[in-house]
Amino acid sequence: MAIDSVYASSPPFQTGPSGHPRHFYLAVDRLQFKMQTVVELVDLVARRPCLPIVVCCSTRDDLDSLCSSLSALPFLSSSALYSDLAEDERAFVLEKFRQVTARWNQMNHGGAPNEDEAGKDERSHMIIVTDACLPLLASGELPLNAHLLINYELPAKKETYGRRLATCLTADGFVINMVVGGEVVTLKSIEESSNIVMQEMPMQVSLLAKSCQLCFTVRASHGIHLTLNWLMFIYVYQYMSFFSEQGSWPFMLFDWMKHSFIFVFY
Query: What is residue 117's predicted lDDT score, i.e. its pLDDT?
Result: 55
Structural domains of the chain, count: 2
Report DSSP letters for the chain, one per residue: --HHHHHHTSGGGPPPTT-PPEEEEEEESSGGGHHHHHHHHHHHHTTSTT-EEEEEESSHHHHHHHHHHHTT-TTEEEEEE-TT--HHHHHHHHHHHHHHHHHHHHHHHS-S--GGGTTS--SEEEEEEEGGGS--GGGTPPP--EEEEEESS--SSHHHHHHHHHHHEEEEEEEEEEEETTHHHHHHHHHHHHT--EEEEPSTHHHHHHH-SSEEEEE-TTS-EEEEEHHHHHHHHHHHTT---TTSHHHHHHHHHHHH-EEE--
Residue 75 domain boundaries: 3-201
Model-level pTM greater than 0.75? no
Query: What is residue 113's predicted lDDT score, i.e. its pLDDT?
Result: 54
Instruction: Please indicate, yes or no, whether residues 190 and 234 belong to a single structural domain of this protein.
Output: no
Query: What is residue 114's predicted lDDT score, i.e. its pLDDT?
Result: 55
Instruction: Please indicate, yes or no, whether residues 182 and 233 belong to a single structural domain of this protein.
Output: no
Instruction: Please indicate, yes or no, whether residues 72 and 113 belong to a single structural domain of this protein.
Output: yes
Domain boundary (152, 172, 201) is at 201
Other Cβ atoms within 10 Å of 137 Cβ, number: 12
Instruction: Please indicate, yes or no, whether residues 61 and 193 belong to a single structural domain of this protein.
Output: yes
> Residue 223 region, left (φ>0) first, then alpha (ψ -120 to 50), else beta?
left
Instruction: Please indicate, yes or no, whether residues 216 and 197 belong to a single structural domain of this protein.
Output: no
Angle at 26 between CA 23 and CA 31, to 5 degrees: 135
Query: What is residue 177's predicted lDDT score, i.e. its pLDDT?
Result: 94
Closest CA to 50 of 111, 120, 115, 116: 120
Instruction: Tell how far CA 162 is from the center of its chain.
Output: 18
Instruction: Please indicate, yes or no, whether residues 31 and 127 belong to a single structural domain of this protein.
Output: yes
Query: What is residue 165's predicted lDDT score, i.e. its pLDDT?
Result: 95
Query: What is residue 127's predicted lDDT score, i.e. its pLDDT?
Result: 97
Instruction: Please indicate, yes or no, whether residues 129 and 85 belong to a single structural domain of this protein.
Output: yes
Query: What is residue 110's predicted lDDT score, i.e. its pLDDT?
Result: 64
Domain containing residue 115: CATH number:
3.40.50.300
Query: What is residue 121's predicted lDDT score, i.e. its pLDDT?
Result: 77
Instruction: Please indicate, yes or no, whether residues 233 and 193 belong to a single structural domain of this protein.
Output: no
Instruction: Please indicate, yes or no, whether residues 133 and 247 belong to a single structural domain of this protein.
Output: no
Domain boundary (148, 176, 201) is at 201
Whether the CB-CB separation of 144 and 102 falls below 8 Å is answered with: no
Instruction: Please indicate, yes or no, whether residues 243 and 161 belong to a single structural domain of this protein.
Output: no
Instruction: Please indicate, yes or no, whether residues 128 and 230 belong to a single structural domain of this protein.
Output: no
Instruction: Please indicate, yes or no, whether residues 176 and 243 belong to a single structural domain of this protein.
Output: no
Q: Would you give per-residue pLDDT tens digits along the chain (266 residues)?
A: 333 333 333 333 344 445 688 999 998 888 888 999 999 999 988 988 899 999 999 999 999 999 999 988 999 999 999 988 999 999 999 999 999 999 998 888 765 555 555 557 788 999 999 999 999 998 889 999 999 999 999 998 899 999 999 999 999 899 999 999 888 889 899 999 988 989 888 644 444 444 433 333 333 333 333 333 444 444 444 434 433 344 444 444 444 444 433 333 22
User: Distance between CA 264 and CA 229 in Å, rounded?
Assistant: 10
Domain boundary (201, 224, 254) is at 201
Closest CA to 203 of 176, 238, 231, 230: 238
